[in-house]
């Protein structure tokens, strides 16, 4: 995929103002709306449609912190796809297993308050990981090449893996909450 930051005309940063991102998307979507090209030729309409699809795809990438991190890495010629990050620390994996078990017990007991508390705890930990990831990715912001400083990206792959775990757990929390409604 093309560079989503470039497509939307945004400065490459991990920490994005999601309101500004949405506003930029709306602005480009209006400019590329098919009604604007109704009187144009078929090639012009196809080009506008193709550009609109790119804009929508770029929005989806930049709204997702994992995919946004991957896009920043890709700008620098680095790739860190799911499953390629190093194995998570055993203590972290044990912690995730315990959280998942607590969540499962609370869900089976139909204890909405416990599910909500676990969700808040997981969301807080996700926020900490996002902050750490932002610090780790800072050397890439605004760059088109990988930093040459040793250790510039230390911990990014680990934090990206942790973020994926927390996103899955939060998805499980939402699914249980939906069942309890």
With a cut of 50, which residues of the chain have pLDDT below it? 150
Radius of gyration of the CA atoms of the chain, in A = 20
Whether residue 81 is contained in a domain is answered as no
pTM, entire model: 0.82
Segment 132-152, tens digit of pLDDT? 999 989 888 876 666 555 455
Q: Is residue 117 part of a domain?
A: yes
Q: What is the pLDDT of residue 140?
A: 80
CB 153, CB 116: distance < 8 Å? no
Interatomic CA distance for residues 143 and 124, integer angstroms: 30
Phi-psi label, residue 88: left if phi above 0, alpha if psi -120 to 50, beta otherwise: beta
CATH of the domain at 169: 1.20.1280
For 113, half-sphere exposure in the C-beta direction (CA atoms, 13 angstrom radius) is: 0
Which pLDDT belongs to residue 145?
63
Domain identity same for 51 and 102: no
Assess if residue 80 is contained within a domain.
no
Q: What is the model's pLDDT at position 27? A: 94
> Please, what's the b/e burial string for 106-139 (b: 16 or more CB within 10 A of its CB; e: otherwise)?
bbeeeeeebbeebbeebeebbeebbebbbebbeb
Residue 123 C-beta-side C-alpha neighbours within 13 Å: 10
The answer to whether position 121 is within a domain reads yes
Residue 19: inside a domain? yes
Which structural domain, as residue segments, surrounds residue 54?
A: 4-63
Contact 136, 156 (CB under 8 A): yes
Q: Does 95 lie in the same domain as 174?
A: yes
Determine, yes or no, domain membership for 73: no
pLDDT at 85: 66
Beta strands in 24-94 (DSSP E): none
> Which tokens belong to 159?
């934090």
Whether residue 72 is contained in a domain is answered as no
Please report the pLDDT score of residue 150 as a whole number: 47
Query: Residue 79: inside a domain, yes or no?
Result: no
How many domains, the chain? 2
pLDDT digits (tens, 9 = 90+) for 149-167: 545 566 788 899 899 999 9
H/E segment holding residue 30: helix 18-31
61 CB burial (10 A radius; 0-12, 13-18, 19+):
buried
């Amino acid at each position: 995929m093309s560079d989503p930051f470039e497509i939307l005309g945004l400065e490459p940063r991990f920490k994005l103002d999601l309101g500004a991102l949405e506003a930029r998307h709306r602005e480009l979507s209006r400019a590329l709306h098919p009604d604007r090209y109704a009187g144009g030729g078929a090639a012009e309409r196809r080009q506008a449609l193709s550009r609109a699809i790119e804009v929508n795809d770029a929005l989806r990438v930049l709204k997702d912190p994992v995919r946004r991190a991957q896009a920043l890495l890709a700008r620098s010629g680095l790739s860190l796809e799911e499953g390629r990050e190093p194995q998570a620390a055993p203590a972290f994996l044990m912690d995730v297993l315990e959280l998942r078990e607590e969540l499962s017990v609370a869900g089976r007991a139909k204890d909405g308050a416990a599910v909500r508390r676990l969700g808040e705890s997981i969301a807080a930990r996700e926020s900490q990981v996002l902050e750490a990831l932002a610090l780790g990715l800072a050397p890439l912001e605004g760059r088109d090449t990988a930093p040459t400083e040793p250790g510039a990206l230390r911990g990014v792959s680990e934090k990206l893996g942790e973020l994926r775990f927390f996103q899955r757990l939060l998805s499980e929390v939402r699914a249980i909450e939906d069942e309890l409604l």
